[in-house]
Amino acid sequence: MRVFTRVALIALMICLAHNAAAQTDKKGDVKPEDMEVDMENPTMEPRVRVTRVLDNNGDSIQCVQLNRVYVYPPIAFKDKKQQQQYNQLVKNVKKVLPIAKEVNGIIIETYEYLQTLPDKKSKDEHMKKVEEAIKRQYTPRMKKLTFAQGKLLIKLVHRECNSSSYQ
């Protein structure tokens, strides 16, 4: 019975290794740590690369290369209240960070377009139109935010755009 279990386990490992090797793409030998990171989409797609390596005796050994995974120590909270405040902050950041990134894109786009306009009058007209469009688009979303989320949004816009929200 033990021999059967070992044989079945080895056969399973070979099948899994073969399937994983068949799924690897040969677009280039780019190391996972050298890949460009898309900061807009922070989720990581796990990539597994199965290769064979020769040891000193000439035997081939399977080698599995994975992406780097950064593990941070768990956050130590003083009490339950501090943990709840942290969880609330994370929830608020997840809600308002996409809005702050959209605002950053709008500011960059508007600034680039303003550089193409010839005189101050046309720039002022364009700014007025942009402000009205932004108010129409974002007022319903802003009304749904809590006071704490609004304060956090101002901080995140300041951090994303490198300019205060009053400018």
Domain ranges of the chain: 1-25+45-71, 80-161
Distance CA 78, CA 89 (A): 16
Mean pLDDT across 124-130: 91
Stretch among 42-56, 107-121, 141-155 having the lowest mean pLDDT: 42-56
Instruction: Compute the mean pLDDT over every residue in the chain, rounded to the nearest whole number.
Output: 80
Integer angstrom CA distances of residue 26 from 9, 22, 60, 67, 143:
29, 10, 21, 16, 50
Q: What is the CA radius of gyration of the chain?
A: 27
Alpha helices per DSSP H over the chain: 2-23, 80-116, 120-143, 147-161
Distance CA 130, CA 34 (A): 40
pLDDT at position 126 over 60: yes
Distance CA 17, CA 78 (A): 46
Distance CA 124, CA 75 (A): 49
Structure tokens at 132: 């009205």
pLDDT at position 90 over 90: yes
Query: What is residue 57's predicted lDDT score, i.e. its pLDDT?
Result: 84
Return the higher-pLDDT residue of 150 and 9.
Answer: 150
The three-point CA angle 125-129-130 to 5° equals 115
Return the higher-pLDDT residue of 84 and 14.
Answer: 84
User: 125 by DSSP, 3-state: which?
Assistant: helix
Distance CA 96, CA 82 (A): 21
CB 72 within 8 A of CB 66: no
pLDDT at position 43 over 60: no
Q: pTM for this one? A: 0.56
Return the higher-pLDDT residue of 27 and 125.
Answer: 125
Q: What is the pLDDT of residues 9-18, one digit of tens each?
A: 666 567 666 5
pLDDT at position 32 over 60: no
CB 126 within 8 A of CB 67: no
pLDDT at position 24 over 60: no
pLDDT at position 143 over 70: yes
